[in-house]
Amino acid sequence: MAVLVQKFGGSSVADAGRIRAVANRVAAAVRRGDQVAVVVSAMGDTTDELLELAAAVNPAPPGRELDALLASGEQVSAALVSMALAAQGIRAVSLCGWQAGIHTDRCHRKASILHVDPRRVREELAAGKVAVVAGFQGLADTQDVTTLGRGGSDMTAVALACALEAAACEIYSDVEGVYTADPRLEPAARKLSHLSYEEMLEMASLGAQVLQGRAVEYAMQHGVRIHARSTFSEGPGTMIEEAREMAVGAVVSGVAHDAKVAKICLLEVPDRPGIAEQLFSALATRQVNVDMIIQSVNRQQVNDLCFTVSWEDLPAAREVSEAVAAQLGATGVTWDDQVAKVSVVGAGMAANPGVAATLFGALAREGINIEMISTSEIKISCLIRAAEVQRAVRAVHRAFDLGR
Ligand code: ADP
Ligand code: ASP
Ligand code: MG
C-alpha cells in the first residue's frame, strides 16, 4: 500500500464545486488502495484578501497576528475537503499544521520547517483515513503559529512527503505541469515532461509561480521527486527530479518572469571598502532577500548602488536603505516598483556562449531597454519596464524556439 501526498492549490479549491472535484480525485486514489495525505491551500484569493483586510486595520501588522490570520485560510479548505470526502463515504480528518507535526523556526511570514513529526498523520492513515493537512502553516517553539512564505503549501507537501517517505509528492494546480513559459502570458508555451531540480529551482525563484522555490530546494536536498499535475485533467504532468535521471537537457529550458519586483537605488554613496557590507547586512537582518545588484561607475569618489527586491520586501528595504543612506551621507534613495524581471533558464547554458547575445537581441528587436542584468551558470536575467513584460516573454520564447 503506497503512501501518496497530493497537494491542491488555491485555484483547485476555489469554490464548492472544485472542492468536490478534488474530493473525487482523492477518493479515486483511496479506492485504488493508496494511503493519501492531502495538503490544501486557502480557497482562491483568500490569502490576498486576508492581507488586504489586515492592512486596512493596521498598515504594519505584527507578524504573529498576521500569521494567525493567514493560517485560517488553509484551515477552512482542510475542513471543507475533509467534509467533501466524508460525503463520498471516504473517512477523512482535517489537521492544522501543528497537528500534522510541522515545526518551524520563529520567522513569521517566512518560517522555515525545522522538522516534521509525522506521527499523527501516520496514525490517521493507518486507521484507514485520509489526512487533510492545512498547508502553508506550522508551529514555532514559542507555540505560536507561523506561515511558510507565499506559495508555502508546496513546502508543506514536500516536507510531509519526505517525512512519510511517500511514494509520490503530487502537486496539483490549474495548469498541466511546468511549461517553457507562463502559459497565461505565452500561449505557445510547451509543457515539459521532466525538469531537473536545479532548473526548476531557478525557474521558481525567478518568478515561475507554479512551484514555490523553497519547496523545490527542500525537495532537492531531501531527494523528493515532485510530480506537477493538473487538478482538472488526467495529463501526465511534469516530473522534477535529479538531472542524471533525465535525457540531456536543452540549452535553454524555459523563460521565467516576475512582475512583482522593485528597484531601489542609493544615490552618490561614498566609494570606500565596507559600504556594500553595511547596507546588505542591514537588509539581511530584516530578512530582506536582495536579488540583482549593480554599482554605477565611480565618479568623484561616489557610486550609485542599486538592487532589486520583491514587492513583499519593499517596505522593509526602503526603511533600511533610507537609514543606511543617511548614515553614509548618500544624497538620496529612489525606488521604482514598475519594473519586471525576465530570465532564461537552462542547464545547458554554461557551455553555450551565444545565449546572452540571443536574449539581448530578442529584447533589442522589440525596442525593450535593459536596466539591469544578472547571470549564473544556468540563468540570465534582465530587468525591464513592467509594462513590457508580456512582449518580452513572447519575444524571448520565440528567439530560443521554445515552442517547437
Ligand atoms: P496554486 O494556486 O495551485 O498553488 P499557482 O497559482 O501558485 O497555483 O501556480 C499556477 C500558476 O503558475 C499557473 O496558473 C501559471 O499561470 C503560473 N505559471 C508561471 N510560470 C509557469 C510555468 N513556467 N509553467 C506553468 N505555470 C506557470
Ligand atoms: N495560501 C498561501 C498563498 O497564497 C499558500 C499557498 O497557496 O501555497 O501564498
Ligand atoms: Mg502555488
At 301 the pLDDT is: 85
| Å from CA of 153 to ligand 2 middle | 6
Mean pLDDT of 244-273: 84
DSSP 3-state helix, strand, coil percentages of the chain (rounded to 5)?
40, 25, 35
Give residues whose Cβ lies within 5 Å of ion ligand 3: 9, 151
Distance from Cα 373 to the centre of ligand 2, integer Å: 29
pLDDT category at 246 given cuts 50, 70, 90 is: very low
CATH for 3-174 (3.50.50.60, 3.40.1160.10, 3.40.109.10, 3.40.50.300): 3.40.1160.10
For the segment 204-216, the average pLDDT, to the nearest whole number, is 94
CA 250–ligand 3 middle distance (angstroms): 26
pLDDT value at 248 more than 70: no
- pLDDT tens column, 38-68: 999 999 999 999 999 999 999 889 999 999 9
Distance from C-alpha of 158 to C-alpha of 166, rounded to nearest angstrom? 10
150 Cβ inside 6 Å of ligand 2: yes
pLDDT tens readout for residues 182-209: 999 999 999 999 999 999 999 998 999 9
Q: Where are the domains of the chain?
A: 3-174, 255-399
Burial of 94 (0-12, 13-18, 19+ CB in 10 A): buried
Three-state DSSP class for residue 296 = coil
Integer Cα distance of 392 and 390 in angstroms: 5
Residue 278 CA to ligand 2 centre (angstroms): 33
Exposed e or buried b per residue across 49-87, where buried means at least 16 C-beta atoms within 10 angstroms of its C-beta: ebbeebeeeeeeeebbebbbbbbbbbbbbbbbbbebbee
CATH assignment, 255-399: 3.30.2130.10
Which three-class secondary structure state does DSSP give residue 113? strand
pTM metric for this prediction: 0.91
Gap between the Cα atoms of 319 and 165, Å rounded: 44
CB-count burial class (<10 Å; 0-12, 13-18, 19+) for 101 = buried
Of the ligands numbered here, which is closest to the C-alpha atom of 157?
2
Which of 41, 51, 210 gets mutated to test ligand 2 (max ligand atoms within 8 A of its CB)? 41
Average of pLDDT values for 79-107? 98
